[in-house]
């Protein structure tokens, strides 16, 4: 199967900037609520209230904001948001308690829900952390209500309301996670479909070129050798005509299987170049190793012993291989390497097929020149 490079969705820099803006918005909202709250609160509670907001809740927000600039933030975002939200919620519980204790004032409980929903949906807590927040917030609120019935005869109905709202929030978070998971799966499937050749499960032409270009640039930068193999089935038109298209498809799959057997390294890029033509771009092979690989492919076809009765001399099905090997810096582009491999393939075809040929002009200064060499198996 092709090797896909993108799998996990990593937060980008703009995601991080957006997250910081959200944290800041949370701080601004708390500040705005202060204006409204101070209108409602009895005068004797103002000091406690301001102390709680200015020296507990806002510093928690700023601590989270400051941590978002730390390199470890992305790794610990979920626990950090949980800790901050629980801290805010419990600071609010303390405020509810103080207002009740100092002036018998029933401070609103809605902050509990605002903080939780901010964590669940704005800060993007995942289900596990959302559940933990729900449990911790519910336990704290229940404990406070049981010890101090702040809301009089409405205490328990209000507690029920808080618990139910938190529960609904967590279910919402779970549903969202589930849908996001489905979206990511669908996305992965789309990426696979758009990069894979359906018949062989190798890279299709587009993905093959993209991955090969990436590998080639890397090899050019690091001054390594590159080997480009162009493989083409022999007398395949006759094979198709004789055995039918479905048998032809099977033969194409055999070619792909053989390539996977021979070019096994993670770094080898293999794909279907078009029709019955295949391409391999392999890094770091010596000139001699390239020839060994080509021979292995040809031997594998011999071992499969697939008859091609339609071919002129009724031979077994086989392929021809053109190789371009050299130091990547000596090649102007991947395109040039493919062209050289293609010319070598043409030569292998002219030399009787079921053979390989090596393009001379791309041989690296470092590697022993192998010139053109054909070997009929």
Ligand X SMILES: Nc1nc2c(ncn2[C@@H]2O[C@H](COP(=O)(O)OP(=O)(O)OP(=O)(O)O)[C@@H](O)[C@H]2O)c(=O)[nH]1
Binding site for ligand X (CB under 6 A): 199, 232-238, 240, 245, 248-249, 252, 275-276, 349, 353
CB-wise, 110 or 277, nearer to ligand X? 277
Of 152 and 312, CB closest to ligand X: 312
CB of 200 to ligand X, least distance (A): 9
The DSSP bridge pattern shows strands 277-283 and 269-274 to be antiparallel
| Least distance (Å) between residue 320 CB and ligand X | 7
For ligand X, which is the closer residue by CB, 232 or 342? 232
* Of the candidates 366, 276, 260, the residue with the CA atom closest to the CA atom of residue 321: 276
Q: Using CB atoms, what's the residue nearest to ligand X?
A: 248
Q: Which is nearer to ligand X, 158 or 204 (CB)?
A: 204
Question: Which H or E run includes 173?
Answer: helix 155-195
Select 227 or 233, whichever has its Cβ closest to ligand X.
Answer: 233
Query: What b/e readout covers 174-212, taking b as 16+ CB neighbours within 10 angstroms?
Result: bebbeeeeeeeeeeeeeeeeebbbeebbbbbeebbbebb
CB of 241 to ligand X, least distance (A): 7
Residues 6+ apart with CB under 8 A from 179: none
CA 230 – CA 302 distance, rounded (Å): 19
| Smallest separation (angstroms) from ligand X to the CB of 264 | 24
Q: Which residues contact 343 (CB under 8 A, 6 or more apart)?
A: 322, 359
At its nearest, how many Å lie between ligand X and the CB of residue 240? Answer: 5
How far is 220 from 239, CA to CA, in rounded Å? 40
Residue 124, exposed/middle/buried by CB under 10 A (0-12, 13-18, 19+)?
Answer: buried
Name the minimum Å distance from CB 316 to ligand X: 13
Residues contacting residue 114 through CB under 8 Å, at least 6 positions apart: 29
CB of residue 348 to ligand X, shortest distance in Å:
10
Nearer of residues 249 and 296 to ligand X, judged by Cβ? 249
Nearer to ligand X, 79 or 352 (CB): 352
- What is the full DSSP assignment across 37-75? HHHHS-GGGHHHHHHHIIIIIHHHHHHHHHHTTSTTHHH
List beta partners, residue 229.
280, 323
Quote the least distance from Cβ 197 to ligand X, whole Å.
9
Shortest separation between residue 238's beta carbon and ligand X, angstroms: 6
Count of helix runs (H) and strand runs (E) in the chain:
12, 6
Give the DSSP H or E segment for 220: helix 205-222
Q: Which residues share a beta bridge with 324?
A: 228
Whichever of 51 and 244 has its CB closer to ligand X, that residue is 244
Comparison of 260 and 349: residue with beta carbon closer to ligand X? 349
Q: Enter the tokens of residue 339.
A: 């062209």
């Amino acid at each position: 199967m092709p090797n896909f490079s993108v799998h996990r969705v990593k937060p980008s820099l703009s995601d991080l900037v957006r997250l910081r803006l959200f944290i800041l918005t949370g701080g601004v909202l708390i500040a705005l609520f202060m204006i409204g709250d101070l209108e409602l609160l009895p005068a004797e509670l103002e000091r406690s209230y301001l102390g709680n907001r200015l020296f507990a809740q806002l510093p928690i927000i700023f601590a989270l904001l400051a941590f978002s600039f730390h390199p470890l933030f992305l790794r610990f975002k979920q626990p950090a948001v949980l800790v901050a939200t629980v801290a805010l919620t419990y600071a609010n519980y303390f405020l509810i308690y103080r207002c009740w204790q100092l002036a018998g004032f029933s401070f609103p409980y809605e902050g509990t829900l605002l903080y939780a929903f901010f964590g669940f949906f704005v800060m993007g807590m995942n289900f596990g952390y959302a559940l933990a927040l729900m449990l911790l917030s519910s336990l704290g609120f229940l404990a406070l209500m049981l010890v101090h019935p702040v809301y009089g005869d409405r205490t328990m109905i209000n507690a029920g309301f808080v618990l139910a709202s938190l529960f609904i929030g967590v279910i919402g978070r779970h549903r969202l996670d589930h849908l996001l998971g489905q979206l990511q799966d669908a996305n992965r499937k789309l990426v696979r479909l758009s990069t894979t050749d359906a018949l062989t499960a190798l890279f299709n032409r587009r993905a093959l070129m993209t991955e090969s270009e990436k590998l080639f640039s890397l090899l050019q930068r690091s001054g390594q050798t590159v080997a480009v193999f162009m493989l083409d089935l022999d007398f395949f038109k006759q094979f198709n005509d004789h055995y039918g298209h479905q048998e032809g498809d099977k033969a194409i799959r055999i070619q792909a299987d053989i390539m996977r057997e021979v070019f096994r390294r993670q770094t080898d890029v293999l794909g279907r170049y078009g029709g019955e033509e295949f391409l391999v771009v392999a890094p770091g092979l010596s000139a001699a190793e390239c020839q060994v690989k080509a021979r292995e492919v040809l031997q594998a076809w011999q071992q499969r012993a697939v008859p091609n009765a339609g071919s002129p001399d009724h031979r077994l099905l086989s392929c021809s291989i053109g190789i371009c090997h050299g130091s990547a810096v000596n090649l102007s582009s991947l395109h040039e390497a493919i062209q050289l491999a293609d010319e070598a393939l043409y030569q292998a075809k002219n030399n009787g097929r079921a053979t390989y040929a090596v393009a001379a002009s791309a041989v690296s200064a470092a590697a022993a020149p192998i010139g053109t060499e054909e070997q009929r198996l």
